[in-house]
Amino acid sequence: MNIGYRVVVHSCAVLAVSIHAGQVLGQVSGSAAGHYPNRVVRIVAPQPPGSGVDTYVRAIAQKLTESWGHQVIVDNRPGANGIIGVEQVIRAKPDGYTILAAFTSALVINPHVYKSLPYDVFRDLAPIMQTVTNTMGFVVHPNLPARSVKQLVALAKARPGEVSYASNGVGNVNHLAAELLAHEAGLKLLHVPYKGATPAMQDLMGGQVTMYFNPVVGLSPHIRSGKLRLLATCGEKRAHAYPDTPTMVESGLPKVVITGWGGFLAPAGTPPEALARFQRDAARALQGNDLRERLSALGSEPTPSTPEQFGTFLRVETEKWGRVAKLAGVYKSQ
């Protein structure tokens, strides 16, 4: 496998409007938007409870519930690299009451990994906004005799094919992150895929697997409790939430630079006034000091965007991950 590149991953949850709806959203009058919402809004999170996506989506849902006076619920539909959750959304009535909280793998990696998908991101979904940029963390079981990336690399080289890593599924961003590490460090690792972040972390904490890449927003409680050991973060600079933890770059792996992202989407054809209201109020919630500080402390920086910006971003990310999937040897492998 020839992976001679520097990759910056952005891992995600997303809201959808049609790609063209972005030009309309800003023109929607306050009176039109005022009709939405008038009942419960469901946000589908394609990851299990306790995952990184679930953590920050619930924080946003709480703020929207308080603002609107109508409940915003999070419906966890994990499995198949987000495919199950995305299907739930594209089959829903496009009325603004079903929203998708998606992430990198589901939107911009799956199209390159699966020979066929039940959805087309740019046909069936409409982007509204990026929500967060996530710090990726590299964690191991605390009993592992490695307290640094260099020690972990030495251990893996001494035991080729025996040191295992968990992923949220074949082709998931944490799968490709580990493959990038293996390539850059010259390692032979054992891949153990799971149906989402929560079972992967459970087996890591139970000692069934050795290491794992994931957004620290989902890892933080377990790092702080001592159930997981954080060896490094994966940005170009040290993470605000973990200033004493070195980066992979500082650990001698300058090409292992990985960050994550999240956002919201809805079914194509959703009324633009509903999407405009959701985008406006979700962005306002993310920009509030309390939620910004809360998420930042977990390693998830609020980065709300416009629909146009997010639509462009998705296209750029889709092209990038196509190249990465080919280099990692998983292009259209399923």
- pLDDT given at position 72: 98
CB 211 within 8 A of CB 143: no
Res. 214: pLDDT tops 80: yes
> Please, what is the average pLDDT of the chain?
88
Res. 12: pLDDT tops 50: no
**pLDDT category of residue 32 using cuts at 50, 70 and 90:** very low
Res. 13: pLDDT tops 90: no
CB 71 within 8 A of CB 42: no
Res. 50: pLDDT tops 90: no
**pLDDT category of residue 170 using cuts at 50, 70 and 90:** confident
Over residues 85-107, the mean pLDDT reads 96
Bridge partners, 230 (sequence order): 139
**pLDDT category of residue 188 using cuts at 50, 70 and 90:** very high
**pLDDT category of residue 26 using cuts at 50, 70 and 90:** very low
CB 139 within 8 A of CB 245: no
Percent of the chain with pLDDT over 90: 68
Classify 165 as helix, strand or coil: strand
pLDDT digits (tens, 9 = 90+) for 232-265: 999 989 998 899 999 999 999 998 988 889 999 9
Q: Is it true that domain 135-233 has CATH number 3.40.190.10? A: yes
pLDDT digits (tens, 9 = 90+) for 64-95: 999 999 999 999 999 888 999 999 999 999 99
In whole angstroms, give the CA distance from residue 203 to residue 12: 23
Give every CB contact of residue 19 below 8 A, 6+ residues apart in sequence.
122, 126, 127, 307, 311
pLDDT digits (tens, 9 = 90+) for 146-161: 999 999 999 999 999 9
pTM for the complete prediction? Answer: 0.77
Give every CB contact of residue 319 below 8 A, 6+ residues apart in sequence.
none
Residue range(s) of every CATH 3.40.190.150 domain in the chain:
19-133+263-318
CATH topology of domain 19-133+263-318: D-Maltodextrin-Binding Protein; domain 2 (3.40.190)
Classify 74 as helix, strand or coil: strand
pLDDT digits (tens, 9 = 90+) for 198-207: 899 999 999 9
- pLDDT given at position 34: 53
| CA–CA distances in Å: residue 79 to residues 69, 73, 107, 330 | 31, 19, 14, 19
CA atoms within 13 A on the CB side of 41: 32
- pLDDT given at position 20: 42
In whole angstroms, give the CA distance from residue 95 to residue 26: 19
Give every CB contact of residue 51 below 8 A, 6+ residues apart in sequence.
45, 78, 196, 197, 198, 218
Q: Count the neighbouring beta carbons within 10 Å of the beta carbon of residue 245.
A: 18
Over residues 96-118, the mean pLDDT reads 94
Give every CB contact of residue 128 below 8 A, 6+ residues apart in sequence.
14, 15, 16, 17, 25, 263, 264, 265, 266, 275, 278, 279, 282, 307, 310
In whole angstroms, give the CA distance from residue 4 to residue 7: 10
Burial of 43 (0-12, 13-18, 19+ CB in 10 A): buried
Task: Give the range among 1-15, 102-116, 312-326 with minimum mean pLDDT.
Answer: 1-15
- pLDDT given at position 135: 87
Give every CB contact of residue 212 below 8 A, 6+ residues apart in sequence.
138, 139, 140, 165, 166, 167, 174, 200, 201, 204
In whole angstroms, give the CA distance from residue 77 to residue 87: 10
Burial of 102 (0-12, 13-18, 19+ CB in 10 A): buried
Residue range(s) of every CATH 3.40.190.10 domain in the chain:
135-233
**Which amino acid, residue 204?**
L
